[in-house]
Amino acid sequence: MAIIKPFRALRPQPALAKEVAARPYDVLNSAEAAAEAAGNPNSFYHVSKSEIDLPDGTDVHSEAVYLKAAENLQALRDAGTLFHEDQPCYYIYKLVMDGRAQTGLVCVSSIDDYNNGIIKKHEFTRPDKELDRINHITYTRAQTGNVFLAYDDVPELNTIIDHWQQRHAPVYDFIADDGIAHTIWVVDEAATGEQITELFATKVPATYIADGHHRAASAALVQKATNENIHSSANLNYFLTTIFPASQLAILDYNRLVKDLNGHSKADFLSQLEYDFIVEPIGHHEQKPSMLHEFSMYLDGTWYRLVAQEGTYTTDPIGILDVTILQNNVLDKLLGIKDPRTDKRIDFVGGIRGLGELVKRVNSGEMQVAFALYPVTIGQLFDIADSGNVMPPKSTWFEPKLRDGLLTHLI
């Protein structure tokens, strides 16, 4: 069963929440972060993307960047922009995007649960990305990035969270520049907190990482390294999470772009595709896939509908995924991309950017062909995590995303 607990968040003064809030560090590059933070000394990008305050060309993984992050975090505390909660609390975090709401519980989750498989994973992590987060946590002494977890709905928990929202005013309530609404309530009543802790301990057998595998792995590695040297703060035994009921979550498509046709002519490539797919030209208008095992392909100014034929996939949790079908039958078989995690000829675009981004990059000549996929379902994600398998890289894109800086866990 899941072990969670309340914590004393480091958080902004209510009037400054919108200024502080920053998109997750890994969804934008340094130049984009610098542009968003321009003229705003309270932006949390000064902590999460601290290279924006260093000379152009600074290695984003250099010690100078992590030292600057620690310095900037302390400066926000010294200025009173951020303050440390007086007592451990749970926090309710509601996001609304395009009229769809999802509400999660912000807490700290047990690293023992992560190590013991109570918190289930569906992706491999990369050592270089782990090291980046390890250094950021170590230098700042804070977990600034939130791990997005999901769980099978528990009606009693939904009721508690709904009632709290109805009976209490939020501490933060703003609409970010991208139109996403962020509302946060502080659950500072001990009896309610105890109920929440107990329900997770008795009704939630597992939680699932939706987004934040590297943040979770890094927190566990920091705890292991520190505790091997000296028994340290109990805060290290937990990491910052926001946990959402599965029924409220939506997964967007995660699409692929490839630089070339691996020596095939256009005619030959289309002909080869017909061995494994029904191939139908659909013209110049964008059209998203409408069901599993259907793909949209953009090539030489034309969209095509591809439908996987029987025999191109298996029914096991991994084999049935559209990302697997595309990888095995197109990216590997025809385009020679064996490992999409390391091959420089492939790139990935989250569905939040729309199909227009695929058209733009192919038409520019940067890429030659694009593939749009039908989104993975939350049920597929749970099935794969339960089976102990991992998804192919870049399989899921969750929106809306939590903001950094609103709730930080100090270690």
CATH code for position 322: 3.30.1760
pLDDT of 351: 80
Distance, CA of 251 to CA of 347 (rounded, Å)? 19
Residue 236: the pLDDT is: 86
Taking the C-alpha atoms of residue 215 and residue 222, their distance in angstroms, rounded to an integer, is 11
Tell me how many degrees the CA angle 147-29-143 measures, rounded to the nearest 5. 30
Together in a domain, 231 and 275: no
Per-residue model confidence (pLDDT) at position 228: 55
Cα–Cα distance for residue pair 259/367, rounded to 1 Å: 4
- One domain for residues 201 and 327: no
Q: How far apart are CA 320 and CA 389, in angstroms?
A: 13
Per-residue confidence (pLDDT) for residue 243, from 0 to 100: 96
Q: Are strands 82-84 and 172-175 parallel, antiparallel or unpaired?
A: unpaired
Q: Token pair 């038409």 is at which residue?
A: 363
Q: Is residue 197 part of a domain?
A: yes
- Structurally, the chain folds into a number of domains equal to 2
Same domain, 147 and 274: no
Do 161 and 12 share a structural domain? yes
* Whether residue 139 sits in one domain with residue 52: yes
Token code pair at residue 373: 């996929």
The verdict on residue 386 lying in a domain is no
For residue 292, which amino acid is it? L
Domain assignment present for 393: no
Residues 246 and 152 occupy one common structural domain: yes
Q: pLDDT value at position 346?
A: 94
Residue 209's domain spans which residues? 4-250+399-410
Q: What is the DSSP letter of 26?
A: G
Regions of the chain where pLDDT drops below 70: 227-233
Judge whether 110 lies within some domain: yes
Same domain assignment for residues 313 and 226: no
Contact, 106 vs 241, CB < 8 A? yes
Burial class from Cβ neighbours inside 10 Å (0-12, 13-18, 19+) for residue 108 reads: buried
Q: What is the pLDDT of residues 53-66, one digit of tens each?
A: 999 989 999 999 99
221 and 267, same domain (yes or no): no
Tell me the per-residue pLDDT of 355-375, one tens digit each, with 9 for 90 and over: 999 999 999 999 999 999 999
Tokens representing 1 are 């069963």
The DSSP 8-state label assigned to residue 50 in this structure reads: G
Question: Could you tell me if 234 and 260 lie in one domain?
Answer: no
Are the CB atoms for 411 and 29 separated by under 8 Å? Answer: no
| Residue 266 maps to a domain | yes
The reply to whether 168 and 41 lie within a common domain is: yes
Dig out the tokens for 53 from the structure.
């305050």
Is 357 inside a domain boundary?
yes
How far apart are alpha carbons 122 and 216 in whole angstroms?
A: 12
Tokens of 52: 């924006």
Residue at 283 is within a domain: yes
Residue carrying the six token digits 């996403």:
180
Q: CA-to-CA distance for 132 and 169, rounded, in angstroms?
A: 37
Query: Do residues 138 and 31 lie in contact, with contact meaning Cβ atoms separated by under 8 Å?
Result: no
| 382 domain-assigned | no
What's the maximum distance between 2 C-alpha atoms anywhere in the chain?
68
Q: Are residues 292 and 204 in the same domain?
A: no
Residue 231: per-residue pLDDT: 46
User: In terms of domains, do 329 and 243 share one?
Assistant: no
